[in-house]
Homo-oligomer: A and B are copies of this chain.
């Protein structure tokens, strides 16, 4: 088989497009993102994006499902994580999950696609997908990570504050704003290094 000019399967194309869509939806929001920009980011033509996903709304829903699946997979991995070295102190569950989350939402496209989804609760077809994903996360924390309801609540609350701090770009003015530095320190704790590393990039 030829290597580059080969026609690839629609399954692979769909995945390529979803990656591009997550980035574009994250950057421009649901309405501001255009199927044309998604197409160019994926290296194909605009009508083909529409052909494969039907409508822009369907494309967004698939992209949202895709990011939610990534989030759940990251949490599942963190829950199952065991130190390879027996001597290593096993970090607490909450610490592992928190670190996994901060790593994940360092991808701005993923973070903002997620947030746009949560904010579209009144959309008849997108809303249910977002709510369902959110509650799946809650149940995973409670039933698989073993959190109490209040532990899960506090973990999620911190997560939503992390979202806001990162989305608003406050990380970029930490050196100029002592209050922001104080708030970041409280919010991220030992995850602060991770955030600063990603913010620099």
Chain A positions within 8 Å of B, measured between CB atoms, are: 27-32, 108, 112, 115-116, 118-119, 121-122, 127, 130-131, 134-135, 138-139, 142, 149-150, 152-154, 156-158, 160-161, 163-164, 167-170, 173, 177, 179-180, 182-183, 185-187
**B residues within 8 A CB of A164?**
118, 134, 160
Contact of A138 among B121, B158, B163, B179 (CB under 8 A): B179
Q: In the complex the two chains form, is A183's CB within 8 Å of B156's CB?
A: yes
Extra pairs beyond A152-B183, A153-B161 (11, CB < 8 Å): A28-B31, A31-B32, A118-B168, A119-B119, A121-B167, A131-B169, A131-B170, A150-B186, A153-B186, A154-B157, A157-B158
Q: How far is the CB of A167 from chain B (nearest CB, A)?
A: 5
Give chain B residues whose Cβ lies under 8 Å from the Cβ of A28. Answer: 31
Say yes or no: B170 contacts A134, CB within 8 Å. Answer: yes
Residues of B contacting A158 in the complex (Cβ-Cβ under 8 angstroms): 157
- Cα A163 to Cα B167 with chains together (Å): 14
Q: Are A127's CB and B169's CB within 8 A?
A: yes
A112 vs B116: C-alpha distance in the bound complex, in angstroms?
11
For this complex, 19 residue pairs linking A to B, each with C-beta atoms less than 8 Å apart, are A29-B29, A108-B122, A115-B115, A118-B168, A119-B168, A121-B169, A122-B169, A131-B173, A134-B164, A134-B168, A135-B177, A135-B179, A139-B179, A150-B186, A153-B161, A153-B183, A153-B186, A157-B161, A160-B164
Q: Which of A27, A118, A182, A183 has the most CB of B within 10 A?
A: A183
Q: What is the oligomeric copy number? A: 2
- Least CB distance from A169 to B in Å reads 3
Contacts of A139 in B (CB 8 A): 179
B149, B160, B168: the one within 8 Å of A121 (CB): B168
Residues of B within 8 A of A153 (CB): 161, 183, 186-187
Of the residues B108, B121, B135, B161, contact of A180 by C-beta under 8 Å: B135
Flag if B168 contacts A127 (CB, 8 Å).
yes
